[in-house]
């Protein structure tokens, strides 16, 4: 099973649109996929005891979306030259050993010109620390808010092609996953 992580807690975001687009591509390739939306984190999970006594709702989300996944695809928007703090908080609050030896990939988004390359590097370092295998192919989607049609569907052909190639790699169609 593959989990696509909407790595922001903003609702109706470009990140959510790209994550769902990616999930559809994975599903089209015959792979089971789930989408973890960090906007669905329980409001009470951020507390001093979160490292010791995680809430049942948080642990249910973690088990369903992280423990049961073989590959995590993080769709990360650029926040202040990096990735969103809610993703770091989620990782920090999670049982670390559950990430060990899983595969991960990172899709960067920004309104600027670099597609959150810096945030991808920052997250790569954290995921390596968690003993994850981070894939070398890291799509960077810049100018993201201008890349959707009036109905909210991705319409940038270059980005659609990049995500299709990434889906092939993740599910192993190209023998690189």
Burial class (CB in 10 A: 0-12, 13-18, 19+), 52: exposed
Which of 152, 171, 162 is closest to 108 using CA atoms?
A: 162
Look at the block and give the residue holding tokens 């015959």.
Answer: 30
The overall pTM is greater than 0.85: yes
Chain mean pLDDT for the chain: 90
Span 97-124, average pLDDT: 94
Tens-place pLDDT, residues 13-59: 999 999 999 999 999 999 999 999 999 887 776 766 666 777 778 88
Tens-place pLDDT, residues 92-101: 888 889 899 9
Encoding tokens for residue 50? 């979160």
Strands (DSSP E) along the chain, which ranges?
2-6, 33-37, 71-77, 103-109, 133-134, 140-141
Helix%, strand%, coil% for the chain, nearest 5: 45, 20, 40
Encoding tokens for residue 121? 């590097």
Q: Domains in the chain, please, with CATH?
A: 2-171 (3.40.50.360)
């Amino acid at each position: 099973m593959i989990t696509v992580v909407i790595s922001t807690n903003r609702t109706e975001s470009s990140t959510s649109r790209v994550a769902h687009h990616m999930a559809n591509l994975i599903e089209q390739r015959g792979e089971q996929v789930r989408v973890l939306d960090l906007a669905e984190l329980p409001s009470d999970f951020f507390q001093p005891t979160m490292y010791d006594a995680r809430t049942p709702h948080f642990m249910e989300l973690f088990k369903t979306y992280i423990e049961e996944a073989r590959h995590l695809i993080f769709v990360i928007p650029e926040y202040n030259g990096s990735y969103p703090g809610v993703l770091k908080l989620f990782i920090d609050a999670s049982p670390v050993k559950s990430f060990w030896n899983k595969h991960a990939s990172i899709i960067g988004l920004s309104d600027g010109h670099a597609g959150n390359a810096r945030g991808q590097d920052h997250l790569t370092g954290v995921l390596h620390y968690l003993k994850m295998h981070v894939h070398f192919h890291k799509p960077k989607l810049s100018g993201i808010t201008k890349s959707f049609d009036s109905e909210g569907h991705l319409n940038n052909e270059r980005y659609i092609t990049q995500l299709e190639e990434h889906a092939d790699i993740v599910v192993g169609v190209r023998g690189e996953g």
